[in-house]
């Protein structure tokens, strides 16, 4: 047990920071104000990811066989920390490199690998994930979008909801039900669907979070070649749970919360608020939550670095990250008071980005259920 960064990792972090200083435009804070799905940020991501790719950093944690350089998990974690903290210039593409690419490596055919992996590792493609449905949110496995086999194609009918990045996406990793008679976890398949296929319509759902946050995606007799299925038919649930287990901590929320908290404290100091012991205590307590989320996330990365199977430590890290994000967002609003209500102000921008934390990528309550069942081994009954 030891908790030092290797000199190589430290050097990489420094190099990355220099690169960001040079690469991010002056109006980056404005670009990133509305989150990774906004037009501005999704657009910028194509430019930015291409530059990351040129340096071999975008998918350095991938195996060399797929255009990576087998970088250790810690190296990729540093990239996640640095990029997510400043507002994620990879835009929606962080999903591609974190788990969509690896899922294709694990379950894809040679043809699928050849089609998708180079484009992902060059940073030129945007994906969305078609998981949630109007009647299948936290209870994802209740999904009903139907894919009927017709010759060498599936015909997809149904709809997905809350889909981030759908308006910008080139592809959708889509969960469909291929056998409605099978049990809840059986009969699900994964399709890799080009978004520019006839019969797909996308509608933005206006939200209070930011631009282009939520969408509905409608599938009306959409023909998808069978060759686009990822993994075996009716075993899509395994594909998804396997692919997502490691990546559930994916976005380094704590890193974003840590940087926001530092900036908040800096503003508080400039205004003389740090003299108020109550403010000092609030900031200190928020820092404990950010640090807790960081160390629990590191624990998950460490297990990956040791080649251990994913454990419920992932859920511990997830909930801690959510708590940190929410606490910092709320604290920013409270310290700035009504000043924070103005759109785009420091407090507003950060609060809006934080407020979905407990719901996005699976509700906190579901994580707590898993911790109770698997970590504490409490009875189900």
Residues of span 251-290 touching other proteins by CB under 8 A: 262, 265-266, 268-269, 274, 277, 280-285, 287-289
The whole-angstrom separation of Cα 364 and Cα 105 is: 29
Q: Which is nearer to other proteins, 10 or 106 (CB)?
A: 10
What residue has token string 């030891």?
2
The whole-angstrom separation of Cα 31 and Cα 279 is: 30
Give me the phi and psi of 153, to 5 degrees please.
Answer: -140, 160
As measured in angstroms, the least distance from the Cβ of 73 to other proteins is 10
Out of 292, 359, 360, 363, the only residue in the binding site for other proteins (CB under 8 A) is 292
Residues of span 5-24 touching other proteins by CB under 8 A: 5-6, 9
- Per CB under 8 A, 2 contacts other proteins: yes
Q: Which is nearer to other proteins, 180 or 379 (CB)?
A: 379
In the chain, what's the furthest Cα-to-Cα distance? 72
Q: Which is nearer to other proteins, 78 or 217 (CB)?
A: 78
As measured in angstroms, the least distance from the Cβ of 27 to other proteins is 27
The separation between the first and the last C-alpha atoms of the chain, rounded to the nearest angstrom, is 38
Name the nearest CA neighbour of 160 among 200, 210, 115. Answer: 200
Per-residue x/- track, 300-329, other proteins (CB under 8 A): --xx-xx------x--x--xx---------
Q: Are 83 and 90 in contact (CB under 8 A)?
A: yes
As measured in angstroms, the least distance from the Cβ of 337 to other proteins is 19
As measured in angstroms, the least distance from the Cβ of 72 to other proteins is 10
Which phi-psi region, left, alpha or beta, contains residue 233 (left: φ > 0; alpha: ψ -120 to 50)? beta
Is residue 195 helix, strand or coil? coil
The whole-angstrom separation of Cα 57 and Cα 43 is: 19
Residues that bind other proteins (CB under 8 A): 1-6, 9, 74, 262, 265-266, 268-269, 274, 277, 280-285, 287-289, 291-293, 295-296, 298-299, 302-303, 305-306, 313, 316, 319-320, 365, 368-369, 371-373, 375-381
């Amino acid at each position: 047990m030891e908790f030092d960064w290797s000199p190589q990792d430290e050097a990489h972090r420094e190099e990355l920071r220099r690169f960001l200083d040079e690469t991010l435009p002056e109006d980056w804070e404005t670009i990133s104000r509305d989150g990774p799905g906004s037009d501005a940020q999704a657009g910028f991501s194509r430019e930015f990811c291409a530059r990351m790719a040129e340096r071999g950093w975008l998918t350095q944690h991938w195996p060399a066989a797929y255009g990576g350089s087998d970088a250790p998990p810690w190296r990729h974690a540093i990239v996640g920390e640095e990029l997510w903290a400043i507002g994620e210039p990879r835009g929606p593409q962080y999903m591609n490199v974190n788990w969509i690419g690896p899922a294709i490596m694990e379950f894809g055919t040679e043809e699928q690998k050849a089609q998708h992996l180079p484009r992902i590792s060059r940073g030129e493609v945007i994906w969305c994930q078609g998981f949630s449905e109007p009647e299948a949110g936290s209870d994802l496995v209740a999904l009903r979008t139907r894919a009927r086999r017709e010759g060498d194609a599936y015909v997809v009918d149904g709809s997905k909801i809350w889909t981030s990045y759908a308006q910008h996406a080139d592809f959708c990793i889509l969960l469909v039900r291929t056998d409605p008679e099978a049990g809840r976890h059986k009969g699900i398949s994964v399709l890799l669907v080009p978004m520019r296929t006839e019969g797909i319509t996308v509608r933005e759902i206006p939200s209070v979070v930011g631009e282009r946050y939520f969408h509905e995606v409608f599938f009306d007799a959409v023909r998808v070649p069978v060759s686009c299925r990822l993994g075996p038919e009716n075993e899509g649930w395994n594909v998804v749970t396997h692919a997502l287990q490691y990546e559930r901590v994916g976005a380094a929320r704590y890193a974003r919360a840590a940087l926001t908290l530092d900036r908040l404290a800096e503003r508080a100091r400039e205004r003389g608020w740090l003299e108020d012991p109550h403010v000092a205590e609030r900031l200190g307590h928020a820092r404990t939550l950010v640090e807790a989320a960081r160390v629990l996330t590191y624990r998950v990365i460490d297990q990956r670095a040791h080649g251990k199977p994913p454990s419920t430590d992932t859920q511990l890290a997830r909930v801690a990250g959510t708590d940190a994000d929410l606490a910092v967002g709320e604290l920013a609003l409270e310290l700035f008071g009504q000043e924070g209500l103005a759109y785009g102000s420091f407090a507003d921008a950060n609060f809006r980005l934080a407020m979905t934390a407990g719901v996005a990528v699976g509700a906190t309550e579901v994580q707590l259920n898993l911790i109770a069942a698997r970590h504490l081994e409490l009875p189900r009954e």
